[in-house]
Structure 1
Amino acid sequence: MAAPQAATPQTTVPVLEVEDLRTVFLTDAGPVHAVDGVSFSLGPGETLGIVGESGSGKSVTALSLLRLLQEPARIVGGSIRFQGREVLAMSPRELRDWRGDRAAMVFQDPMTGLNPVKRILGQVTEHIVSHGRMPPKPARRRGIELLRRMGVAAPERAAAAFPHEFSGGMRQRVMMAIGLANDPALLIADEPTTALDVTIQAQILDLLRGLNQEFGTAIVLISHDLGVIGSVCRRVAVMYAGEVVEEAPTADVLEDPRHPYAWALVNAVPRLEAPAGARLTAIEGTPPDPLNPLPGCRFAPRCPFRIARCDTEHPPLMEVAPGRRARCWVTADGRSLPRPTVPATAERRAPATGEAPLLQATGLEKKFVLPRKSLFAQPAMVHAVNGVDLVLRRGESLGVVGESGCGKSTLARLLTRLHAPTAGRITFEGQDITTATPAALRSLRPRLQMVFQDPYASLNPRMTVGQILAEPLLAHRRAPSRAAAAERVASLLDTVGLKPAFATRFPHEFSGGQRQRISIARALALEPAVVVADEPVSALDVNVQAQVLNLMLSLRERLGLSYLFIAHDLAVVRAFCDRVAVMYLGRIVEEGPADEVITRPLHPYTVALTSAIPEPGRQRVLLGGEPPSTLRLPQGCAFRARCPVAQDVCATLPPLAEVAPGHRLACHFPGALAPLPRQERLP
């Protein structure tokens, strides 16, 4: 994938100039300094990335730029100028005329950004008509053309649909169409790809690059992932604790970060080229309390490079190299930060010859019957899992990857018997549990535990952490008394890197990463043999993701756990798993050793997944459309409608056959679509 090209500027007047912006939230405990002295400028056709972990002030900065904040938030200082005009001095009427016309914003969650009771075309044309760009009839034609340009299939038909009828990627395309409806000079995209699969994410990033090049739109892209920023933006501002701690060309930050926090973000991202099983670079700890800013550098308590001056003097944003600024005393003289030491590599377990599988699925199927639309209509059926054969051995980590809707989570619930299979067989520790009764399953639950994607939804908000962790111990009589359970709870918290004193806190008092550690502790409470982890890190910041993955690797080595690890990010899977199974429309299309499948993929779908990882220099294998509907399975290979190498023979279903020792593939043309070579990053 080529580095993004900026459009040729048409004027020397900056589109956006931000100087010393300060935004606070007025609370009973005092003002929370969410944005504290942010400054940057953006010219026509430029792309600026704002990156940082949750709570760093990225989204508050974006909302401040368009003055979308409400009480108790308040902009208390600074200047925001749009094409030389002061935004903070605009009247409410002027703001309404400006927003959606000359400046637009695309929000993180398109489902909450779209009106659920209004058709798609009406939402796209609303801004065109309300800002007087054209009457309703020409606006409808422009709306359909915008949907087509955003890559929405059959836009005439899609225009009459409602938001709930679209996938996440299609809804985000609609949000893009709304944002670009009036050809704005400025587009702010706040985490537009965070909740999307890597393939859909890559399509949205391609779309942003195209808009920048075709229309010369100035873009501010907000993300917590430097890989996403690096694939779109020429410049980046790294935020931490409400401040910009580094601002520089993106390529320079990715190659040679000058602030320790940027250094941590760069090195926390798992990469396909990293050694298999290598632990990720992570910095422990949490950001400082915004109610009480530290007197020195705000990153100092977590910084591995800090010096005495960092604790007492607050560093300004200094020029550390031509065109580069960083807020760091260590690099103030222009020096670079040292390369991270190579982390310890987790041992890859070779399965013992003749070893009986710990968990095995054979011909597993699951169909969900939908309610009838009328009394005489045939019931519709969702084909979620369609004949899966899977083996998990003792002490092994098996990754299951694929796009949303491919059946990964349903497979996880089948293997843990939270769902009963429609067909097939499941054995666990040599025992057939396919049709096990609830009473029989209760005795197996301690050995087969699950970690869910959203730890906040899976933890009881009315119970303390101590009560949450003690509950399974007492229910399964693993602790003779509450005092013994409390001792075990303290040990569990220590095992996952949390203080035993945290047992008295409630889930809402923890960060996302800490809540996920609590979920892992609960899964470990009953000493399981298998932990099924369903997207346990997909919603976490990259640094917290690295912490959780390193923790899970350590627990595997210490406790001999086996993991079934569900994910849609192949780079994460390569860092964590011994083997990987790639799913598409309820079937496994490729399975084998993680290193072999991910670095030398043979199935065209696996090649597309690896190419979609947002790393600068990675070329894309473009896939058209989205997966077929699960209501009616296509004949033959389900991937053939999107496959670049499909031929007539693909109308017959290819079997999942072994093409090398331990490597299985369901494709008529193994290796026909070779991974594209990486390109050199432009300076």
Structure 2
Amino acid sequence: MDGTLPRRESAADAAAPVLEVEDLRTVFLTDAGAVRAVDGVSFTVGPGETLGIVGESGSGKSVTALSLMRLLEEPARIVGGTVRFQGRDVLAMSGAELRDWRGDRAAMVFQDPMTGLNPVIRILRQVTEHMVSHGRQTPAKARVRAVELLRRMGVAAPERAAASFPHQFSGGMRQRVMLAIGVANDPVLLIADEPTTALDVTIQAQILDLLGNLNAEFGTAIILISHDLGVIGTVCRRVAVMYAGEVVEEAETAAVLADPRHPYSWALVNAVPRLDSPAGTRLTSIDGAPPDALNPPPACRFLARCPFAISRCGQEHPPLMEVAPGRRARCWVTADGRSLPPPPVAAEAARRELSEDRRPLLEAVGLVKHFPGARRSFFGPRAVVHAVNGVDLRLARGESLGIVGESGCGKSTLARLVTRLHEPTSGRLHFEGRDITHASSAEMRPLRPRLQMVFQDPYASLNPRMRVRDTLAEPLMAHGRASNRVEADRRVLDLMGTVGLKPEWAARFPHEFSGGQRQRISIARALALDPALVVADEPVSALDVNVQAQVLNLMLDLRQRLGLSYLFIAHDLAVVRAFCDRVAVMYLGRIMEEGPAIALFARPLHPYTVALTSAVPEPGRERVILGGEPPSTLALPTGCVFRGRCPVAQPICEEAPPLAEVEAGRRVACHFPGAFEPPRTPGR
């Protein structure tokens, strides 16, 4: 059985658009009035076509998707427009008609697969449920098809996986299950809402490949929603850029990436770091915030943030007009067909010279961290989680070292070891020449001001019951850096200015800030005690590309002004390439390759590094596909830990290779460094 189902469309249906959306308007009814979340959106999607919808948080992308599927509940309400699916009026469908339509002819894959899957139902039943309930398969045939779909989605050992529960899968595997459920009934339309946002670069690339294969193999029309134009560019032929509830540009994806015709699209394109960008390059960002959806401005909604605005922009609201053949944009500047000017030549952030003191600021030798796991039996020994397995690294004063790798490779555990939030199982750790491997809390207290950390989720790391002024004043008072509250408050206002926040916002609570502003507060708190080293654990992974650019630019500025050193942890290699001097690539708790960022990304020597760099979502980039997933940390493989997935593994790889210097400043843990050549990308 090939897992496919026969199409039910006639030739006429195949020629007609699958989805036609015209002037769609969705509001949220609040006590203050109607919040215009989606305000006049129009587009069409043809059979087998891929449409990307891109924009920052709050632009209306997800509300548009939920409106199309009629999944909104009060206080949300669709107040205008039409949505037609193969000629049928979706907004006029009854509840029974919607239940028959959803999951059968149209399906949706949500951003968080853990909330989209039932945690107490096995995978097999969740995949077969729609097939049986819609009468597409008998229970017996549905089970066979479910296993075949899981195999096609790249789930290893699908028969065994089908009997598992969602919590037993990784994030990437859960997203594959969601895709299998979405295509189980061979839908004509699939809507994927940020399906790769929280995933590693390798898993993200695999999911994007799956979406592309679904489009090519099944002829499924796909709407892919994302805040990253790089992701859209790898899958979608056409893109609609949304801002403040409106589509501000619609065109072929390649045309938008090469020549954006709306200033917002222009900023999104130039806010994304690239692997070929010079290290330390400042990114293009948009100052300010989107307009209030409760009271949008009567003229151009992007006016307050636009670097190209003309007088007409403040006088008249622009329609979505044709600015070139097949291209529409909502902009008076480009209405006559002109292109926007290229961004200024990217300026490399000024940097302080590394200190003449050659002693490392931070040094780790053979760092190991094991955690006790669950017992395999009542009387048996506990399992051991091998999180970090012998890491050596050195960080100079004023230097930025990036740590990259897939989820579970030990990056965050290493960050907590370096800051001594965890005590190492073995190995040595020195900070500013002092051995802190087993330092007590009392011994660490005087060192804490010099060693600070910025966490991935600023909302979880900030006390929701404390105002910002109290959050920032607390470390100053606790460490005696301010003699009284008046002096602390003065220092708090200085800190807020340093990270680009208005002093009057000091009286606000964390929930009153955007994600990017909360991360700025976290950075301000880390800077309060004048640290020498800031450990940043995924500080921009949850942010929109524009906010990400703002935070990275801020961190580069602070490094230049204050002489900070950074240990910068991320799974986005392009971000690390733009920010760091040196990079260490981790896999299963060990460093596979380390070297200068420019050299490492230009010519990766370890096969794992080659695969990581090839997975960066840039249009036209050729990818190396790794089979399977990293081994379990409960039972480390012998020899080279990467050999089970390595495309050039040889019998000698049964012996663990040392992390050895193969050329000046570059260390690689591989018996055949440089033997696996990265694929050549056309045009480069």
Fold conserved between structures, TM > 0.5: yes
Match of 2:90 in 1: 87
SS of equivalent residue, structure 1 residue 55:
coil
Q: 1:445 to 1:485 in 2, by over 3 A?
A: same
Question: Of the candidates 331, 340, 345, which is equivalent to residue 342 of structure 1?
Answer: 345
SS of equivalent residue, structure 1 residue 80:
strand
Question: Of the candidates 387, 392, 398, which is equivalent to residue 390 of structure 2?
Answer: 387
Q: 1:161 to 1:95 in 2, by over 3 A?
A: same
Match of 1:396 in 2: 399
Match of 2:118 in 1: 115
**CA–CA separation in structure 2 for the residues paired with 1:430 and 1:477:** 24
SS of equivalent residue, structure 2 residue 14:
coil
Match of 2:572 in 1: 569
Match of 1:441 in 2: 444
C-alpha distance after superposition, 1:61-97 (max 9, x if no partner): 0000000000000000000000000000000000000
**CA–CA separation in structure 1 for the residues paired with 2:224 and 2:536:** 31
> Deviation of residue 375 (structure 1)?
2.6
Match of 2:491 in 1: 488
Indicate if the aligned counterparts of 1:9 and 1:44 stay in contact, CA closer than 8 A. no
> Deviation of residue 284 (structure 1)?
1.1
Match of 1:295 in 2: 298
> Deviation of residue 307 (structure 1)?
0.8
SS of equivalent residue, structure 1 residue 370:
strand
Indicate if the aligned counterparts of 1:246 and 1:262 stay in contact, CA closer than 8 A. yes
Question: Of the candidates 242, 251, 265, which is equivalent to residue 239 of structure 1?
Answer: 242
SS of equivalent residue, structure 1 residue 371:
strand
**CA–CA separation in structure 1 for the residues paired with 2:79 and 2:310:** 33
SS of equivalent residue, structure 2 residue 15:
coil
Indicate if the aligned counterparts of 2:20 and 2:83 stay in contact, CA closer than 8 A. yes
Corresponding letter in the other structure for 1:263: W
SS of equivalent residue, structure 1 residue 356:
coil
Indicate if the aligned counterparts of 1:147 and 1:155 stay in contact, CA closer than 8 A. yes
Match of 2:283 in 1: 280
**Aligned pairs for 1:132-171 within 5 A:** 132-171=135-174
Corresponding letter in the other structure for 1:394: R
> Deviation of residue 185 (structure 1)?
0.2
Question: Of the candidates 649, 657, 664, which is equivalent to residue 661 of structure 1?
Answer: 664
SS of equivalent residue, structure 2 residue 232:
helix
Match of 1:4 in 2: none
**Aligned pairs for 1:527-606 within 5 A:** 527-606=530-609
SS of equivalent residue, structure 1 residue 278:
coil
Corresponding letter in the other structure for 1:300: L
C-alpha distance after superposition, 1:571-606 (max 9, x if no partner): 101110000000000000100101011111000110
**CA–CA separation in structure 1 for the residues paired with 2:355 and 2:506:** 40
Cα RMSD, aligned residues only: 1.2
Match of 2:202 in 1: 199
Corresponding letter in the other structure for 2:506: A
Question: Of the candidates 617, 626, 629, which is equivalent to residue 620 of structure 2?
Answer: 617
> Deviation of residue 349 (structure 1)?
6.4
Indicate if the aligned counterparts of 1:348 and 1:578 stay in contact, CA closer than 8 A. no
Match of 1:5 in 2: none
**CA–CA separation in structure 1 for the residues paired with 2:76 and 2:683:** 44
Question: Of the candidates 507, 510, 522, which is equivalent to residue 510 of structure 2?
Answer: 507
Indicate if the aligned counterparts of 2:353 and 2:398 stay in contact, CA closer than 8 A. no
Are positions 1:68 and 2:75 aligned together?
no
Please list every run of 5 or more consecutive structure 2 residues that lacks an aligned counterpart in the other structure.
1-10
**CA–CA separation in structure 2 for the residues paired with 1:551 and 1:226:** 22
C-alpha distance after superposition, 1:193-227 (max 9, x if no partner): 00000000000000000000000000000000000
> Deviation of residue 523 (structure 1)?
0.2
Are positions 1:252 and 2:258 aligned together?
no
SS of equivalent residue, structure 1 residue 76:
strand
**CA–CA separation in structure 2 for the residues paired with 1:373 and 1:652:** 29
SS of equivalent residue, structure 1 residue 645:
coil
SS of equivalent residue, structure 2 residue 190:
strand
Q: 1:444 to 1:588 in 2, by over 3 A?
A: same
Match of 1:325 in 2: 328
**CA–CA separation in structure 1 for the residues paired with 2:124 and 2:139:** 11
Match of 2:130 in 1: 127
Q: 1:307 to 1:320 in 2, by over 3 A?
A: same
Are positions 1:98 and 2:98 aligned together?
no
Match of 1:408 in 2: 411
**Aligned pairs for 1:202-213 within 5 A:** 202-213=205-216
Q: TM-score, normalised by structure 1?
A: 0.98
> Deviation of residue 10 (structure 1)?
7.1
**CA–CA separation in structure 2 for the residues paired with 1:353 and 1:123:** 61
Indicate if the aligned counterparts of 2:155 and 2:161 stay in contact, CA closer than 8 A. yes
Corresponding letter in the other structure for 1:121: L
Q: 1:363 to 1:255 in 2, by over 3 A?
A: same
Corresponding letter in the other structure for 1:342: V
Match of 1:176 in 2: 179
SS of equivalent residue, structure 2 residue 375:
coil
Indicate if the aligned counterparts of 1:427 and 1:434 stay in contact, CA closer than 8 A. yes
**CA–CA separation in structure 2 for the residues paired with 1:91 and 1:568:** 45
Corresponding letter in the other structure for 1:587: R
**CA–CA separation in structure 1 for the residues paired with 2:448 and 2:188:** 57
**CA–CA separation in structure 1 for the residues paired with 2:671 and 2:162:** 37
Match of 1:311 in 2: 314
Q: 1:640 to 1:348 in 2, by over 3 A?
A: farther
Match of 2:637 in 1: 634
Indicate if the aligned counterparts of 1:237 and 1:244 stay in contact, CA closer than 8 A. yes
> Deviation of residue 283 (structure 1)?
1.1
**CA–CA separation in structure 2 for the residues paired with 1:577 and 1:474:** 33
**CA–CA separation in structure 1 for the residues paired with 2:345 and 2:203:** 32
SS of equivalent residue, structure 2 residue 390:
strand
Instruction: Tell me which moved more, 110-119 or 641-650.
Output: 641-650
SS of equivalent residue, structure 2 residue 347:
coil
**CA–CA separation in structure 1 for the residues paired with 2:644 and 2:13:** 42
Match of 2:453 in 1: 450
> Deviation of residue 342 (structure 1)?
1.4
**CA–CA separation in structure 2 for the residues paired with 1:329 and 1:370:** 61
**CA–CA separation in structure 2 for the residues paired with 1:528 and 1:350:** 18
Indicate if the aligned counterparts of 2:601 and 2:613 stay in contact, CA closer than 8 A. yes
> Deviation of residue 308 (structure 1)?
1.2
Match of 1:35 in 2: 38
**CA–CA separation in structure 1 for the residues paired with 2:31 and 2:666:** 60
Identity %: 78
Indicate if the aligned counterparts of 1:9 and 1:43 stay in contact, CA closer than 8 A. no
**CA–CA separation in structure 2 for the residues paired with 1:580 and 1:166:** 29
C-alpha distance after superposition, 1:214-241 (max 9, x if no partner): 0000000000000000000000000000
Instruction: Tell me which moved more, 266-275 or 17-26.
Output: 266-275
> Deviation of residue 680 (structure 1)?
4.8
Match of 1:377 in 2: 380
Question: Of the candidates 368, 372, 375, which is equivalent to residue 371 of structure 2?
Answer: 368
C-alpha distance after superposition, 1:404-450 (max 9, x if no partner): 00000000000000000000010011110011111111111110000
Question: Of the candidates 588, 611, 614, which is equivalent to residue 608 of structure 1?
Answer: 611
Are positions 1:357 and 2:360 aligned together?
yes
Question: Of the candidates 54, 60, 66, which is equivalent to residue 57 of structure 2?
Answer: 54
Corresponding letter in the other structure for 2:213: G
Structure 1 runs (4+) greater than 3 angstroms displaced: 347-354
**CA–CA separation in structure 2 for the residues paired with 1:247 and 1:235:** 7
> Deviation of residue 275 (structure 1)?
1.9
**Aligned pairs for 1:223-238 within 5 A:** 223-238=226-241
**CA–CA separation in structure 1 for the residues paired with 2:69 and 2:56:** 22
Q: 1:453 to 1:182 in 2, by over 3 A?
A: same
> Deviation of residue 353 (structure 1)?
6.9
Corresponding letter in the other structure for 1:122: R
